[in-house]
Structure 1
Amino acid sequence: MLRHAIAPIRRYTKASHDVVRHSRLNSDAKILLLYVQGLPEGADPRPLSEHAGRLGMKGRAYQKAKQLLTECGYLHEWREQGARGRWVTEQLLANVTLTREEATRAREGEPAVAAPPVPPSERPPTVGGPGERPVGDSPQKEELEEKNLPHPPPEDDTPLADLAEAEGVLLSLRYVNRDLLLGVREARLLAGAAAEWLRRGVSAADLRRALTTGLPTDGIRSAVGFLRHRLLQKLPATKAPTPAPQPERPAAPPRRNLVTCQGPGSEHVFRPRADETHCLRCRTTAAYEATLQQWGQGFSPGGTRPSSA
């Protein structure tokens, strides 16, 4: 494939590769996101559905794009009742994934995401001497902090279908309890540990039930830390492989009782296979003598067979 690209100098919108190459967003969701981000600053605030209508996106196509933007953390909505009792829906569409807390801060005019760290070469020199280290107990850390927990099982051999299903289960936990709200990146960090449950035979519904049952009554401070701890501590055992059924052996025929042989000689017994009255030795001897007798009658004394004429 040949590629020819000229960077525009005006009337363009900056698009992050995280959006353009997003694996879960479809083309409608990406175009709608870029369209809204490219609106001028003084544009009238309109519902997202009106912008989608201008792009020719209606009905199920718009609902699917809106659902994907919400699940991936780009779209957030608040439905509140106004002073006159009317319900109003306010929407926030971002070009980066935001958690619910970050979206709330952006809605209130605060910075949603902290500024990126300044490179060491660009940092101003530190003023003053080194500070003293406080004496006493170590500062309290948030319980179930992610960096203090063991790593999840390796994801090298985990099928992509299991990872995608596990990520969908983790993102859906927000609808069960708002304290379990995860961003897309956070869900991907936990997808390997959740996919291990699916690999061990646990259904998606049972996995969701295991992660949302028996939550702390005082709330959850860190959704990532809590879910990682529960995924590792409650990991079910691997199912033992079911042994292959062994073919049934045919039943041995019943053993017959010993009977007395009716042949010549001293009395002896044998075990017949059917309805024989003579043992094998007597039957063999009788057959041998009958053969000799037939040969004796069929040949002349000179050793030649008599003619039939």
Structure 2
Amino acid sequence: MLWHAISPSRAYVKAPHDVVRHSKLSSDAKILIVYVQGLPESRTGEALSDHAKKLGIKGRAYQKAKGQLKDAGYVHEWRRQVGGGLWVTDQLFSNAPLTDEEARRLRDAKAQVEPGDRYPVDGRATTRSVGGYQPTVEEREKNSPHPPSEEPAAETAEPVAAPGPEVVEAERVLLSLRHANPQLHLGVREARGLSEMAADWLRRGVQAAELRKVLVTGLPADGVRSAFGFVRHRLVRKLPEPLEPAPPVSPVRPPVPCAGDGPEHVFRPRADETLCRPCAQQAAEEAHYIKWPLYAPDPDGEFQEPVRWRERFKEVLGEDAAHVARGTLSGARRPCAVRGGAGGRLRRRRARAAAGRRRTD
């Protein structure tokens, strides 16, 4: 689309983007917010339905717009009984969403104001507060009919300690809830007020993604009336158990003398061992060579090559053939180095054959 806009220099009302782009408010509800926000102080005593009639919003359209404003926190109502048994409905309208507790405090504060102070008749200028927030910074336009409000002089105060990393991370998670679900739209002040409670989750080992999932999952079927109250309720009711303390670290053992051979030396044991690692490895090798002497190294430091059984078998067959040729093979032959296996069976057969020949002779 093509876009062309000229900012008005007078007779205008500032509408925040949170209202204009609100996905849960219809056009009638947004027009009511802008219209009521620009009313003079003398017309604030009229009911919201009277202002809606002047805009052509009546009947079902008005009830729908009013319900959306109540759900979003822009309109709050209380019924009370006055003298004569009559019931009166008090309405509080705000251009910024308020929780039920904030709206109740604002109503009580306005109820304590005397009529002469609330409706001045002597022409003295007053400041109208909408939503409980006083303007501190305004846009300095060139043709603005009213001078911008100046911030009060900062009083000398003690420096405030910077929030910890868990608090900063928790506030970032709370402000990101609006992207997961528009019903959980929190302002900066609301998120900052809940950041300490959410930081307790992070200190107990909960990741930021897990905290966000807990807060946006399983919302009420009829919607969330107050994002601030709903998030605070979940942070308190679903708070996980604290982390168990880490096991104590075993103390460092003092060095002890090694019981192995060689020069005297010390080492730091891990348990109750009496040999250092090199001496323990050498002792294990010596025990292995005692059990398997065939693989023990020779005095020159080299391992002896084990005799292959095939080569030994051929050697035994050669010795038997030499005895047969000389006629000296008998049953009482010298023991062979090869025991069992195919060689043993062959020698037994030959011994039985030689014994049979001697009996025949």
TM-score after normalising by structure 1: 0.45
Higher relative contact order, structure no. (Cα contacts within 8 Å, ≥ 6 residues apart):
1
Query: Which one has the bigger helix percentage?
Result: 2
